[in-house]
Amino acid sequence: MYLGEQIKKLGFGLMRLPKEGEAIDVEQVKVMVDKFLGAGFTYFDTAWAYPGSEEAIREALVKRYPREAFQLATKNAAWINCKTREEAIDQFNVSLERTGAGYFDFYLLHNLGEGRTKFFDDFDMWSFVQEKKAEGLIKHVGFSFHSTPEELEAILQKHPEMEFVQLQINYGDWENPAIQSRAVYEMARKYDKPVIIMEPVKGGMLASPPESVKNILTAAEPNSSCASWAIRFAASLPGLITVLSGMSSVQQMEDNLSYMKDFTGLTEAQKKVVEEARQALIKIPVIPCTTCNYCAKVCPKEIGISGSFTAMNIYTLYGDLAAAKHQEEWLVGMHGRQKAAQCIKCGKCEAVCPQHIHIRDELVKVSQTLG
């Protein structure tokens, strides 16, 4: 039996809790917690970096239920404003204080990949979490990850003591070259690491997919939400601890519980429907960027070309301007690259692009759309 096999396959992601004004609506969270536990689900996922989330779950869950009645996970983001090991370690102590949980069932080094892994190495957070595990303050240690399968393999080879991996997996990103959901999932399985799935509905975007995709799903099951297809796809994969759903309302909770309470996996016919929906999604004309980043190596203005194109593709597919701008800020601004408007149209990028993309023209569209 692998770690988490007996945990039910729907987890309550606490990043997008309902709000009343600017504050988290703790009373609504209490109702959601009660329904979740009442249906037999037990896994809750928060993080030091989720504003107000750890405090909210203390009030809605920890103070109201026996500690052994649930599993609580939180995360350490050593790459956020930490200049010393002590500052990184303090995130753990703050999380313990905020949640009042006494210990964490699952503790994650948060958002490894690219330049962020270096902080956990420099501060030797790997040994710190093992010390806390030995003290009984952490039951299981793992990490969440956003990068390539090759980088995931390097981390797993260097740190075989990690017990699980949390990955962004959904049918929309399954073969997406910018995310590589399938490839990173298969890499985790190669090393026998159980997987926690995050973003199964792609931040809510697969709850309202393009019309061509929605029509396929609705025709197959008129009474099932589009979000249900995304979560069930993820929950059908082998070797999972659970699938996190960032529920923001009682209605979303009730919908998720309705199809996950007795869920045993998609049928072969249902899997074919999801694949048909995925094929419809990839037929929508987007910028055919594979994020090889050859362009980045020659751009004199250090423009975040592939990140800009990923963000623009999100807008094309889902019509969600806010989500596209958020993605642009993360993939371009937070990675120290320049925005599309800084392009001087020198054409060096187009000379090295294996996909023969008219990069200069596309950057103009990005700038006009995303600013």
What is the pLDDT, as a whole number, of residue 292? 83
What is the pLDDT, as a whole number, of residue 202? 87
- Is the pLDDT at 297 greater than 90? The verdict is no
Type of residue at 138: I
- Is the pLDDT at 354 greater than 80? The verdict is no
d(CA 323, CA 275): 24
Distances (CA, A) of 27 to 60, 235, 290, 295: 7, 29, 45, 50
d(CA 316, CA 279): 16
What is the pLDDT, as a whole number, of residue 169? 95
Give me the residues paired with residue 73 across strands. 45, 106
What is the pLDDT, as a whole number, of residue 356? 86
Distances (CA, A) of 24 to 53, 94, 151, 257: 8, 19, 36, 22
Type of residue at 366: V
For 36-67, write each residue's pLDDT tens digit.
Answer: 999 999 999 999 999 999 999 999 999 999 99
- Is the pLDDT at 136 greater than 80? The verdict is yes
The per-type count for the chain, helices as H runs and strands as E runs, is 16, 10
- Closest among 64, 62, 19, 69 to 40, alpha carbons compared: 69
Q: What's the residue count for the chain? A: 371
What is the pLDDT, as a whole number, of residue 205? 82
Minimum mean pLDDT range among 1-10, 67-76, 169-178: 169-178
**Matching CATH number, 11-277, of 3.20.20.100, 3.40.50.11400, 3.40.50.720, 3.30.365.10:** 3.20.20.100
> Left (φ > 0), alpha (ψ -120 to 50) or beta: where does 295 sit?
alpha
Question: Which pTM does this prediction carry?
Answer: 0.86
**279: pLDDT confidence band, cut at 50, 70 and 90?**
very high
For 145-198, write each residue's pLDDT tens digit.
Answer: 988 999 999 999 999 999 999 999 999 999 988 789 999 999 999 999 999 999
What is the pLDDT, as a whole number, of residue 353? 86
What is the pLDDT, as a whole number, of residue 140? 98
Please, what is the Cα angle at 249 between 217 and 67, to 5 degrees? 115
Arithmetic mean of pLDDT, 337-365: 93
314 and 328 in contact (C-beta within 8 Å)?
no
**286: pLDDT confidence band, cut at 50, 70 and 90?**
confident
Start and end residues for every CATH 3.20.20.100 domain found in the chain: 11-277
What is the pLDDT, as a whole number, of residue 289? 85
Arithmetic mean of pLDDT, 247-253: 95
Minimum mean pLDDT range among 4-18, 31-45, 214-228, 349-363: 349-363
For 83-127, write each residue's pLDDT tens digit.
Answer: 999 999 999 999 999 999 999 999 999 999 988 899 999 999 999
- Is the pLDDT at 290 greater than 80? The verdict is no
Minimum mean pLDDT range among 135-139, 199-203, 298-302, 306-310: 199-203
d(CA 205, CA 326): 13
d(CA 145, CA 202): 15
286 and 316 in contact (C-beta within 8 Å)?
yes
CA-CA-CA-CA dihedral for 91, 93, 98, 104, to nearest 10: 100
DSSP string, 215-281: HHHHHH-TTS-HHHHHHHHHHTSSSEEEEEE---SHHHHHHHHHHHTT-----HHHHHHHHHHHHHH
